[in-house]
Amino acid sequence: MHEVGFRHLLCNEYSPRACETLLENRAMAWKPGSSLPTSLVDRWPLIQGDVRLDEVAVALKEVAGKVDVVAGGPPCQPFSLGGVHKGDEDERNMFPELFRVVREVRPRAIICENVRGLMRPSFRPYFDYILRELGAPFVKRKSSEDWEVHDRRLRRLGEPTRNLDEYYDVYPIPVNAADYGVPQVRQRVIIVAFRKDLNVSWEPPERRYSEASLVRDQRNGDYWDVVGRKPKPEVIAMRENAKFAPEDLEKSPWRTLRQAIAGLPEPIEGEQTGPIEHHIGWPGARIYKGHTPNLLDRPAKTVKAGVHGVPGGESVMLRDDGTHRYMTVRETARVMTFPDSWRLAGPRGEQMRQLGNAVPVLLGKVFAQAVANALKPSVNTR
């Protein structure tokens, strides 16, 4: 958000370690009623703790009416294939709090990222309910209602004819981060919404990268020239019978793990290797049943936080010589497209958990820019 020109009015994070990370980078601890010094206007005002805290409620009142975008990712574990998917019944389901924040500050737009598991058949009715509630967040769920009763009430709503600033046009977009230049296969859903009174006409950002172009370039040798390696027949053979749509061949090739970690030295176990922080080798890499390693000449597998935050096969990579090792925290951060200057707090397991819970920086930037472009007319005329 910051990189495309938005200025943070308020940030909130529950995880203590994630808060430490934010504070080590651009955030600054903040309390309602205080103002940031002019010299620190580009810092991110951070309130640490549960979004349901009274302190957060006071802060929301302070920024109400000034907010262009509410952006975030309500905890996704209830709906994740990697979690225990309790869904609506899970106390970690923070979608109701997202709707409350929207009612409090009336943003012009909303950007919400979550796991693709929300779109699975077993959760699809609840996902559709989320979209309907986001479209009409001021039609509040009563304390006596379960979500299905509330959903029936939302379904009966007609097209609004007044108070259009209380309704939103909602766009759910299934994405694979690799299609937007992230060197990682990461299936997610991005929900974008614009306040109806703004009459925003919006198209989702174009997918500019494709597997088709990567496979083509590996077949014709262009990829190997770029990475400075001899062609690997086993890599080419992996997708030898793959067929792709002609339009996908017009896109840029997916970025690979090898390209993402280029320039980093081979890590030494237990030691900081090279000048870039968090590049420390970790011993004991194994391949567990049901897990396969990351391949250098493909995008990385999805970086996961894990139910217990323990790195599994998804953090193991296969070297050119056929041996395995754990990816370092810095390599994982590169796969998430964080800059090398980004610092992560805590021990390795906590650092990996934070990365697994994050949105790839480049993916967030693509959607933030698309929303910023759509909002410019309404922002300039308000």
Catalytic residue among 11, 19, 76, 112: 76
CA–CA dist 64, 108 (Å, integer): 11
Active site residue 112: no
Are 191 and 171 spatial neighbours (Cβ–Cβ below 8 Å)? yes
Q: What gap in Å lies between CA 334 and CA 3, rounded to an integer?
A: 17
**Which residues are tagged catalytic?**
76
